Structure 1
């Protein structure tokens, strides 16, 4: 069995996964896609789960996703004075979130299968979507529908 120290987790494995999360949520569509080694990231998750770091990994993952979704919400609030910009920022946030969540679900699939599915917890994708709904959709839905309605009827 692989034994992972606190330092291994906090200085080697989590930083790699955190960097992936940051990249997925911040890289724009126009920017050239950085190479991401799916195998290396999946291996990090596998090693963390196998060495009993799964609960900490899950907590760190959810905190990182929530921080990025909150940041998306802030960017949308900054653009709410311009209906066109607001709608575009919200659409970009939706697309970015869906792409990031799909990639993260694939990378963290081992954790999802071994830890969550066997314990009866929601899947990672359900958790990601819940964060997005509560942190982004709920605060912006009413205004966004209003802005879209004005544009459609105009």
Structure 2
């Protein structure tokens, strides 16, 4: 009698036993659903007390037992079990290497189709436009494209495309300067440098997000410095051997070239490479302060002699010394 009663109470305190017949299933006979293939901690979803259990030795399509009520749930397929397990993995998406490669490829394709073409068109409008042209460009829209590219981790690709685009244009400018006559090189070089500098005043601010979060933080450089270096390498340095003698000759003949053009070219060359001033110190000292070392008292007569020679050259070239009648009487003695 005691043995029979012992058999009747062998179920656990939650009464987890099969509802059909007298065949009882102990807790040790029940197994939980196998964890998903992706290694992630199971959290969220239903509480543990409500999670389904499988019959021991049953197939994937076996019936569930509810640990609270002991009632059987409806049959589920293997796909349903996979989705249920995936739902309990902290909401993380488990992707294989092939899936990640596909997503990356789709992201790059979206950049190539939807983002870069619009940016390329805007850069074309801003580069080397004539000062008289009024180009209509939506800076807010361009900034929006750049912001998306950086947020989608296309910073390196965007920076590469930007520099490649500007490199192609600078190579074209360099070839055009190569074909122009020598007497027009100073003026044409000034136009190219002025237009390029003006275009950077528009391009650099609109790419500020790329500059801050990629070029400055990862490359430890500055976008404007990089783009000015491109002009120095691809344009200025290639024509320096021809341009410098022309500038020295023009400086020796006052007003042979417009003073504003001379000042713009010399200051531009100095901003690109300050060391170029050592190639013609006298030329650069006429437009850039402190090219020569500080003056000393023993060299004052030499400076005065240099000024007298300069005044004489100006006088010989038709520039009067001015009205001397208004000089004070004490200055005549």
TM-score where L is the length of structure 1: 0.88
Q: Note if 1:60 corresponds to 2:161.
A: yes
Shift of 1:87: 1.3
Q: Distance in 2 between matches of 1:37 and 1:71?
A: 26
Q: Distance in 2 between matches of 1:124 and 1:26?
A: 18
Q: 1:13 to 1:62 in 2, by over 3 A?
A: same
Shift of 1:43: 0.7
Select between 121-130 and 40-49 the one with higher mean Cα deviation: 121-130
Runs of 4+ off more than 3 Å: none
Contact in 2 for aligned 1:24/1:100 (Cα 8 Å): yes
Contact in 1 for aligned 2:128/2:192 (Cα 8 Å): no
Contact in 1 for aligned 2:186/2:243 (Cα 8 Å): yes
- 1:91-125 Cα offsets, whole Å, 9 max, x none, are 01111111112211111100110112222421111
Q: Note if 1:12 corresponds to 2:114.
A: yes
Contact in 2 for aligned 1:87/1:144 (Cα 8 Å): yes
Structure with higher helix content: 1
Contact in 2 for aligned 1:75/1:89 (Cα 8 Å): no
Q: 1:96 to 1:8 in 2, by over 3 A?
A: same
Q: Distance in 2 between matches of 1:67 and 1:121?
A: 24
Aligned residues: 149
Select between 35-44 and 115-124 the one with higher mean Cα deviation: 115-124
Shift of 1:42: 0.7
Equivalent position of 1:72 in the other structure: 173
Equivalent position of 2:136 in the other structure: 35
TM-score where L is the length of structure 2: 0.43
Q: Distance in 2 between matches of 1:119 and 1:5?
A: 22
Q: 2:201 aligns with which of 96, 102, 106?
A: 102
Runs of 5+ in structure 2 lacking a partner? 1-103, 254-333
Q: Distance in 2 between matches of 1:91 and 1:49?
A: 35
Equivalent position of 1:113 in the other structure: 212
Pairwise CA RMSD of aligned residues? 1.7
Q: Distance in 2 between matches of 1:98 and 1:68?
A: 14
Q: 1:86 aligns with which of 163, 177, 185?
A: 185
Equivalent position of 1:25 in the other structure: 127
Q: Distance in 2 between matches of 1:133 and 1:64?
A: 16
Equivalent residue of 2:187, what SS? helix
Q: Which is greater in Rg?
A: 2
- 1:13-61 Cα offsets, whole Å, 9 max, x none, are 111111121112242223x211111111111100000001111000000
